[in-house]
Amino acid sequence: MSEHSDNPQAGNLPTVDADAAAIRKRLEGRTGRDYWRSLDEIAETPGFEDFLHREFPRQASEWNDGDGDGRRDFLKLMGASLALAGLGACTRQPTEYMMPYVTQPEDVYPGKPLFFASAITQGGYATGVLVESNDGRPTKIEGNPQHPASLGSTDAFTQGSVLNVYDPDRSQTINFLGEIRSYSSFLTGFKDIVAEQIGKQGAGLRILTETVTSPTVDAQMKDLLTQYPSAKWIQWDPIGIGRREGTKLAFGSYANPVYKFDAADVVLALDADFFISGPGAVRYSRDFMSKRRIREGSGSMNRLYVVECTPSSTGAKADHRWPLKPSEVEPFARELAAAIGGSAVAGGTWSTRPWFVSLVKDLQAHRGTGIVIAGENQSAEVHALAFAINESLENLGKTVVFTEPVEASPDNQLARLKELCSDLDSGTVDVLMILGGNPVFNAPADLDFAKKMQKARLRIRLGMHDDETSQYCQWQIPQAHELEMWGDARAFDGTVTLLQPLIVPLYGGKSPSELLAALTETPEKTGYDALRDYWQKQHTGTDFEAWWRRSVHDGMVADSALPAKSMSGAKTPTASSRQPVGPDTFEVSFYPDPYIYDGRYANNGWLQELPRPMTKLTWDNAALMSIATAERLKLWSEARVELKHGDKTVWASVWVQPGQPDETIAVHMGFGRTRSGRAGNGAGFNAYQIWTSDSTTYASGVSLRDLHQKYSIAATQHHYLIDREHGPHKDAAHQAFPADADFETAEASLRGIVRSVPLEEFQKNPNAVAELGEQPPKGLTIYPDVWKYKGYAWAMAIDLTACTGCNACVAACQAENNIAVVGKKQVLNTREMHWIRVDRYWEGSVENPTAHFQPVPCMHCENAPCEVVCPVAATVHDQEGLNTMVYNRCVGTRYCSNNCPYKVRRFNFFLYSDYVTETTKLQKNPDVSVRSRGVMEKCTYCTQRIQYAKIMSEREERRIIDGEIVTACEAACPTQAIVFGDQNDPNSRVTKWKKTDLNYGMLADLNTRPRTTYLAEIRNPNPEISALEKKS
Amino acid sequence: MAQIFHSSANNLSKLGIVVGLLTVTGLVGVVFELGADSSYATRQGIAREQPVPFSHTHHVGSMGIDCRYCHTAVENSWFANVPPTKTCMNCHSQIWLTSPTLEPVRASYRNDTSIQWTKVHDLPDFVYFNHSIHIKKGVGCETCHGRVDQMPLMKQQASLEMRWCLDCHRNPEKYVRPREFVTMMGYEPERDVGADQHTIGVKLVEEYHIQKLDTCYTCHR
């Protein structure tokens, strides 16, 4: 990876000049609604001002992508492009050909997409999806409305996984020591090995897989283990170790907790980001937000408490959030368990604090309607304690329900992996088969797996990529993507979900089930046969064929969720002993990355470029630390440091994160890949290098060394800032907020851009939201309202209460609208192309700020400022109120973007769309133009979907039904925070939302009449705790 | 030696340069404009070479086969699909069994490989045209594709330029016909319906709820 210390761009992000003391001073004593975007905003660093005042910061006015010389190149390029433009006009369209079917399948009409049910898995857990197939190419993934883990929504991973099918860096051939071989030659060679192992009862055979929830693969494995009784099957997933072991520790046996958030009134999350990570996150987000339907007139709300070691989406939505050090989570849970059980802990740290008392009181007041949930990355002890707390609160069986384990053969994965390592060391392993996963990259560093695995005589790898693990294997066999194979997997509640292929494996990939067949007497048995045979055996009814067709069609086996099982007697585990922390060392907590997970999506450009919910980082991870810690160490964001845990070291870059507990560091895993492909290689640093088997939750005693280098990080937190009204802080708006008169940065609150009101206040004063900003009267215009929207009038409303900032909408929009990935260098220049962005605002102190999310697509203003400045009428209004963008007319003046108060227009400074890579062309949505260099683009309200619905409704001679048009962002949103429809229809959902007192337009004071409006965020703080906070 | 040129020649030469440049630019513009509209650029009226010289004159004109027998998707999809080989073989497994002209068709069926047809009506990729809705709204095949029953080899009847599309999108009453005549070749409103196009057109625009869709997103996105 290149160091940017001498690069002029390195100074692009305004981070170094911020003065911690000044920041504190400015925020001192603030209790009102003061929103800020970043530390630089408060400090008013010159860099931030630069971002604010320039439409396209810095390099925007230069014609270079960071490598050119500026003006001279510009003139050369201009000359060349003028000449080319002239010549280009002389050509006629190239001749195109048509290749009809020889025999056309039934139901297939060329040009008409079909949808098939399938599933995408994460850590083994399935989410049911419907995959759009355009002439045989899977192009877009939607949720399966019937599937319990999806209910029609998806997360960002699922949206991104369709791009993985077409990843040009996938392993494309079967390789034996670097030579290309055929699968039959593999089978021939493997036959002798199989014979040898049968003779040895499989004593030298080890099979390493990821977590298996598939009943079929599990049955195959168990058959194999009877055939080879001495062989061993090891499962390994680095994420969720504590979650898997928690039930075993508490109850003595493995079980699967299912949380019923739709029945919970009070939720406490113990470092749990349950909106984003863990099984069932999409469903849990939906269920949780279903208890916050203020927009539908409900006057009651659930309440969320979060204690966490680094800011998360869940923490951002919390009504009360407290930062904890990683080492404090377990003692906290222990004290809480004791307090709820009625026994006070002697010398307790928290039980004396008033807020803790109120928290306990609130939990106790909601017996049977509360949930205490521990995080995916938390230790088994914390999980066990959470179960014990739930039990004493009588939540078990009500809001926390247990089933048999979803994992087919649950086991202590870490212990089994260690056992494998010692077997490898002792030389007893002849054949090591690694199906999927990437253990060389993601096994704990102290196991030294890469070195040990080479002690196996024969190493066979089934992998999507020729990656870190493959390089140490003699055989590399391409793995089929989930959209290329038949299979099954269970969802978070045990529902059996069927994986159906959408396309023939592009590179002849095999599924794990097909490779396992190589060990049996029927080595060429297909994945389909294995799956069907298994279910035929399971099926007890009469008509298997009808049942099977139904199940494949639905993408799941009906009523296959695991039955609830009563569990009780959760044991309180003994305190885990951790080595005392030496002075000047830090606790480092580890998390899966919200988008590239454990590293498996590292080569996915969409997910790499998706700004992380809280940090807004793209293409990098960072060592997150608090402002006080950074100040003490005399470091600031983008400083390069070395983290040392025991004898393991890694070079990381610092990012100062508001809300991070002092003297702790949080890192996200999955970055720093070396063999993932063009997008993932060299992005970020590899946190697994300091992740050891005795500290899977957090490492203590990590020392830090300043390397005195700078490393540019592409964070989008300052991008597309909405400018101040009349220069800084000396305007009328400030007069309305005399208390804030000296506070210079409350821009978002002054103009009412993001609005958040406590439930109590909203109930007392229904105008509380409207009063936060100015709303011009409808008639305020010098032009008469000539145009009446008589037909449809498309509009959108976004509920900020429900938005968790997960960015699934951004990923979905990218997939639907052929939005280009621009790369880190271009993101540094504020040139990311996302049509919808999720702005994150902080409020309050830097130590523990509240966060707010606000998705910002095009507002489709009725009085659109962009339209009046376009010299070529490339952006014009249509009869239904859409602000249309015509690429072929656009000449790239960028005036429209300059005049857009919302900063939602994106310009193709270069040829960002990939016209070169053959495979990724297959992913493109055929209904949306792929934009070329030099044109402006922006959200179209998914006009292709509007046109499709219009054509369908006109063909059926009816009006469009409310809900028939679902924009990509709306469809993906796990919490249904976005609604789109016809605002002329008095019964449409969007009209109803807009009629509520929560509704407001962003910058409506400019009289732009935005069609996209927001429902203000309502929070439900505990009045007792709020009173305490006010006092202090 | 006396000056050959009077000093006013300076001005004349300057003027000459300007006029010359303007003339050249103008000429280039005229050539461009003519060129862009020429049948060279639009391919209007040009029959394209095909692997099999399929005759619409014969199949439509003489045999009277309905358009939708082959172009099955036209009422359902964006495209009025080119028929699969199987459709050809429905008849040609019975008749013209040994015709050498039909060998590519038989080969396609035998080898299960597609016939590669050259696209005659080829809209630019930024145009999203949907056949099904036009059929539904009473736009006849003939209106855009011309008298295919008189085309021994398929050619592009219209220019397919945007102004040509907009002519109908702005004035649909000039072109629409009753749905039952959509696939008819040689439709004449006076003869077939008993009224002039304007009367019928205005009536149908009302009856079929035909909108004057001339906003960009109707066809471009």
In a domain, A667, yes or no: yes
**In chain A, what is the straight-line distance between the N-terminal and C-terminal CA atoms, in Å?**
47
Q: Which of A675, A1032, A1012, A637 is nearest to A854 (CA)?
A: A1012
How many folded domains does chain B comprise? 2
Residues A589 and A472 in one domain: no
Task: Specify if A153 maps to a domain.
Answer: yes
Q: What is the CATH number of the domain that holds A474?
A: 3.40.50.740
Cα A847 to Cα A598: distance, rounded to the nearest angstrom: 29
Phi then psi dihedrals of residue B117, to 5 deg: -90, 145
Mark whether A127 and A205 lie in a shared domain. no
pLDDT value for A684: 92
B160-188 burial by CB neighbour count: b if 16+ within 10 A, else e? beeeebeebbeebbebbbbbebbbbbebe
pLDDT attached to residue A3:
39
Say if residue A797 is in the same domain as residue A901: yes
pLDDT band at B18 (very low <50, low <70, confident <90, very high): very high
Nearest residue of chain B to residue A944 (CA atoms): B221
A781 and A838: one domain? Answer: yes
Q: Which two tokens stand for residue A70?
A: 């500026």
pLDDT of residue A48: 64
Question: Is position A82 within any domain?
Answer: no
How many independent structural domains does chain A possess?
A: 5
Boundary of a domain, candidates A690, A715, A740: A715
Residue A851: which of A54, A286, A304 has the closest Cα? A304
Tell whether B77 and B182 lie within a shared domain.
yes
B14 and B77 part of one domain: no
Residue B210 lies in a domain: yes
Whether A857 is in a domain gets the answer yes
Q: What is residue B36's predicted lDDT score, i.e. its pLDDT?
A: 77
Determine, yes or no, domain membership for A130: yes
For residue A886, being part of any structural domain is answered with: yes
Q: Is residue B171 part of a domain?
A: yes
- Surface of B (144-203) touching A: CB under 8 A: none
- As a whole number of angstroms, the distance between CA A470 and CA A478 comes to 10
Q: Within this chain, do residues A709 and A804 fall inside the same structural domain, yes or no?
A: no
Amino acid (1-letter code) at residue B9: A
The β-bridge partners of A980 are A796
Domain boundary pick from A403, A423, A452: A403
Closest to A151 in 3D by CA, of A925, A974, A833: A974
B214 close contact with A: CB closer than 8 A: no
Contact criterion met (CB < 8 Å) for A101 and B35: no
Q: Which of B42, B126, B217 sits opposite A947 (nearest CB)?
A: B217
Query: A330-350, pLDDT tens digit by residue?
Result: 989 999 998 888 776 666 788
Q: Which residue of B has its CA nearest to A928?
A: B221
* Boundaries of domain holding A512: 174-239+409-563
Same domain, B77 and B169: yes
CA A254 to chain centre: 28
Tell me, yes or no, whether B211 lies in a domain. yes
Interface A-B, measured as beta-carbon pairs within 8 A, has a size of 124
CB A579 within 8 A of CB A652: no
Residue A355 sits in the same domain as residue A378: yes
Q: Is residue B52 part of a domain?
A: no
Chain center to CA of A729: 36
pLDDT, position A725: 41
Q: Which residues of chain B neighbour A927 with C-beta distances below 8 Å?
A: 128, 221
Q: How far is CA A30 from CA A573, A658, A1020, B79, in A?
A: 42, 16, 20, 62
Q: Are residues B22 and B77 in the same domain?
A: no
Nearest to B109 among A102, A940, A943 (CB): A102
As given in the structure block, the two tokens for residue B139 are: 């736009």
Answer whether residue B29 is part of any domain: yes
If asked whether residues B77 and B184 sit together in one domain, one would say yes
Q: What gap in Å lies between CA A519 and CA A532, rounded to an integer? A: 19
Same-domain status, B77 and B186: yes
Q: Is residue B152 part of a domain?
A: yes
Q: In this structure, are B130 and B77 located in the same domain?
A: yes
Q: Do B118 and A876 touch (CB under 8 A)?
A: no
Indicate whether B194 belongs to any domain: yes
Domain presence at residue A88: no
CA distance A1009 to A784: 14
Q: What is the distance between the alpha carbons of residues A242 and A247, in angstroms, rounded to a whole number?
A: 9
Burial (CB count <10 Å: 0-12, 13-18, 19+), residue A118: buried
Could you give the 3-state DSSP secondary structure of residue A610? coil
Nearest to A1010 by CA among A839, A866, A853: A866
Half-sphere exposure of B14 (CA within 13 A, CB side): 5
* Same domain assignment for residues B34 and B77: no
Chain B interface disruption, residue of A817, A889, A924, A955, most B CBs within 10 A: A955
For residues B56-78, average pLDDT: 92
- Confidence (pLDDT) at A723: 46
Indicate if A349 and A221 belong to the same structural domain.
no
Q: Is B144 among the domain residues?
A: yes
Same domain, A355 and A338: yes
| Residue A154 and residue A265 share a domain | no
Q: In A435-570, which ranges are continuous DSSP H helix? A: 439-442, 449-453, 512-517, 527-538, 544-554
Residue with token string 């959509």: B182
| Run of H or E residues at A749 | helix A747-750
The ipTM assigned to this model is 0.89
**Does residue B16 sit in the same domain as residue B77?**
no
Q: Are A941 and A881 in contact (CB under 8 A)?
A: no
Same domain, B128 and B182: yes
Write down the pLDDT at residue A352.
83
* The two structure tokens encoding residue B188: 């004449």
pTM exceeds 0.80, yes or no: yes
What range does the domain containing B209 cover?
Answer: 73-81+120-218
Q: Check if B216 contacts A (Cβ < 8 Å).
A: yes
The answer to whether residue A325 is domain-embedded is yes
- Helix residue ranges per DSSP H, A658-744: 732-735
What local confidence, expressed as pLDDT, does residue A270 receive?
Answer: 95
Cβ count within 10 A of residue B58: 12
Query: Quick one: average pLDDT of B20-42?
Result: 85
* Partners of residue B43 in chain A, C-beta under 8 Å: 92-93
Distance of CA B11 to the CA centre of its chain: 52
**Residue A621's domain is classified under what CATH number?**
2.40.40.20
Q: Do B17 and B77 fall into the same domain?
A: no
Q: Are residues B152 and B195 in the same domain?
A: yes
Whether residues A388 and A312 fall in one domain = yes
Consecutive 10-residue runs of chain A (1032 residues): their mean pLDDT? 39 47 64 66 65 54 51 69 60 87 88 93 94 93 95 94 94 92 91 87 92 94 91 93 92 94 94 93 95 83 94 94 92 90 73 89 93 93 93 93 93 94 93 94 93 93 94 94 95 95 93 91 90 92 91 93 89 73 85 93 94 93 92 89 93 93 93 92 93 91 91 83 44 36 49 88 89 77 76 94 95 95 91 93 87 94 92 93 93 93 93 90 93 94 94 93 95 95 94 93 89 94 87 68
A641 and A502, same structural domain? no
Overall size of chain B counted in residues? 221
Same domain? For A445 and A472 the reply is yes
Q: Please give the residue of chain A at the shortest CA–CA distance from B41.
A: A92
Beta strands A794-799; A978-982: pairing state: antiparallel
